Structure 1
Amino acid sequence: MEKLQQIREILDGMQKDIEKFYDKGQNAAGTRIRKELNNIRKLAAEMRKEIQDVRNSRKG
């Protein structure tokens, strides 16, 4: 559940950059958004592995 909380915090923190990119046309904000989305991707992959490990441990 810790990884899910980290993902939520990243998403909340991205809100201002999303507004800057789409509403104000700031390209640097787009770069920051892409960086944070990559961090979310990594956390999601770790979370998927943890879930699979828990599922496998329940089977055995």
Structure 2
Amino acid sequence: MKKFEELKNLVMGLESDFEKFYDKKNNAAGTRVRKGMQELKNMAQDIRVEVQDIKNKG
């Protein structure tokens, strides 16, 4: 469940940058959103691999 908490924290941490980018057209916030989404993608892939490994062992 630790990884799930990390995912939630990452998404919640991006909320203000999403608002700044979409509502205020702040390009620097857009860069932070893109970086955060890449981290999210990498975390999701790591979790997928971990779940698959656990599933195959069980």
Query: Shorter-chain TM-score: which interval?
Result: over 0.9
Unaligned runs of 5+ in 2: none
Larger Rg: 1
Partner Cα separation in structure 1 for residue 31 and residue 10 of structure 2: 15
Q: TM-score, normalised by structure 1?
A: 0.91
Unaligned runs of 5+ in 1: none
Cα distance per residue 1:20-44 (max 9 Å; x no partner):
0000000110000000000011110
Partner Cα separation in structure 1 for residue 18 and residue 27 of structure 2: 10
Q: TM-score, normalised by structure 2?
A: 0.94
Shift of 1:5: 1.1
Shift of 1:6: 0.8
Alignment length, in residue pairs?
58
Let me know the Cα RMSD of the aligned residues.
0.7
Among all aligned residue pairs of Structure 1 and Structure 2, give the percentage whose two residues are the same amino acid.
41
